[in-house]
Amino acid sequence: MKTFCKYFASKMLRLSIIVAVVSVLSFVLVSFAPLDPITAYLGYDRLQISQEQEAQIISRWGLDKSPSERFLSWAGNILRGDFGKSVIFNEPVVDVIGKRFVASFWLVFFAWLFSGLLGFILGAVAGTFRNSLADRVIRFYAYTLASTPTFWVAMILLVFFAVKLGWFPVCCAGPLGVAPEDVSFADRLYHLALPVLTLSLVGIAQITLHTREKMIDFFQSNHATYALACGETRSSTAIFHGLRNILLPAITLQFASLGELFSGSVLAEVVFSYPGLGKATVDAGIRGDVPLLLGVVIFSTIFVVVGNLIADLLYTLVDPRVRTEEAI
């Protein structure tokens, strides 16, 4: 227990360092980026205000201070839990992220679940029947999807299933003209179908190829050779012996893939006009909403790192040798 606590503490320290480094780098990059918060705040009305009014807005946003002063002020507010106020949404950044993350969470969760299950099954089948027709088909699919941009897959699915066939809605998280709180659970799932399918199809590739290699390694082990020599078929050997050996690496990889799914959801949300955190990130970048952009970056970093932390902790719970080696 003491070793595990020490291991957990070291991981939390790394998490803190990563968040701090990302925060500094993000602020520096945004400071030098060609973003104009004044134009983002006023829009076309900037030409209609006086220089005195513009100076008041600049002072309100603290843009009249040096970059170092703005960073210290921003970092101090972050430590107090104040991420500032979004320019384009005109509400606290924390509230914007909270609302948009709920929508993105279900998108990423279902895509993460389906891609993990299907990828694991396909990888296990491909590794069990190596060099068979099924293996070649699965590998072709995985390599093709691994090199295919997410937005391209989203556009193909949108054109075919939504525009041509009309089976699914073209955009949004609910029927147009219906308030978000009035959208039924069935309608939410209906509008999630194509974005989830997009992320699942792309996310399957990595877990499939990784699981295939692990299953091949298993069949080259003495344990598998002994089972086959005792008269077991490759299918029964894989089901009753192999799956237990490849499940843990697959789970670890699946949690580690949260970052890729989260980044992929940004493109999927833009294509499908899905009102999630990814869409808000793009809007913040285009319209120069610096507080929201920085808040999303920090939140995304924590989200991805926590996913990797969960994967590491799951691994150490099953294999204590990992945390022992980390503690040495």
User: 243: domain CATH number?
Assistant: 1.10.3720.10
What was the pLDDT predicted at 221?
84
Report how far residue 261's alpha carbon sits from residue 208's, in angstroms, rounded to the nearest whole number: 15
Question: Quick check: is 264 in a domain?
Answer: yes
Question: What are the tokens at 29?
Answer: 């990059």
Asked whether residue 187 is assigned to any structural domain, the reply reads yes
63 three-state secondary structure:
coil
* Domain-located, residue 38: no
Residue 31, CA distances (Å) to 27, 127, 150, 296 in order: 6, 49, 29, 16
In a domain, 40, yes or no: no
The alpha carbons of the chain give a radius of gyration, in whole angstroms, of 24
What is the structure's pLDDT at 145?
Answer: 83
Distance from first CA to last CA of the chain, Å, rounded?
15
| Tokens standing for residue 115 | 């891609």
Residue with more model confidence, 30 or 160: 160
Q: How wide is the angle at C-alpha 293 spanned by C-alphas 84 and 71, nearest 5°? A: 55
Lowest mean pLDDT among 62-76, 180-194, 218-232, 293-307: 62-76
* Residue 173 CB neighbours (<10 A): 23
The C-alpha atoms of residue 163 and residue 327 are separated, in whole angstroms, by 56
Residue 130 inside a domain? The answer is yes
The number of CA neighbours under 13 Å toward the Cβ of 172 is 10
Residue 220 sits at φ, ψ, to 5 deg, of -95, 0
Give the global pTM. Answer: 0.74
> Which of 34-38, 64-68, 109-113, 169-173 holds the top average pLDDT?
109-113
Would you place residue 327 in the very low, low, confident or very high pLDDT band (cuts 50, 70, 90)? very low
> Is 64 strand, coil or helix?
coil
Mean pLDDT of the chain, nearest integer: 79
C-alpha 84/C-alpha 93 separation (Å) is 6
Q: Where are the alpha helices (DSSP H) in 130-184?
A: 133-146, 150-157
CA-nearest of 281, 260, 278, 128 to 200 is 260
Task: Look at residue 146 in the predicted model and tell me its pLDDT.
Answer: 79
Instruction: Look up residue 276 and give its two tokens.
Output: 């999630």
From residue 106, how far is each of 30, 112, 265 by CA, in Å?
29, 10, 11
Task: Give the residue numbers spanning the domain of 211.
Answer: 93-327
Taking a C-beta distance cutoff of 8 angstroms, is the pair 265, 281 a contact? no
Q: What is the pLDDT of residue 328?
A: 46
The yes-or-no verdict on residue 240 having pLDDT over 70 is yes
Helices marked H in 220-319 — which ranges? 222-229, 234-237, 243-256, 258-271, 277-287, 290-318
| Percentage above 90 pLDDT, the chain | 3
User: What's the average model confidence in pLDDT over 170-195?
Assistant: 78
Interaxial angle between packed helices 93-128 and 290-318, expressed in degrees from 0 to 180 and rounded to the nearest 10: 40
Residues 195, 274: Cα–Cα separation, whole Å: 8
Question: What letter would DSSP give residue 2?
Answer: H
Number of domains the chain is built from: 1
Residue 320 within any structural domain of the chain: yes
Among candidate residues 181, 159, 190, the one with its CA nearest the CA of residue 274: 190
* Residue 9 forms part of a structural domain: no
CA angle, 87 as apex, 86 and 89 as ends, to 5°?
A: 65
Q: Report, as an integer, the average pLDDT of 258-270.
A: 77
- Asked if pLDDT for residue 60 goes beyond 80, the answer is no
Angle between helices 185-219 and 258-271 (to 10 degrees): 140
Contact 121, 297 (CB under 8 A): no
Residue 72 lies in a domain: no
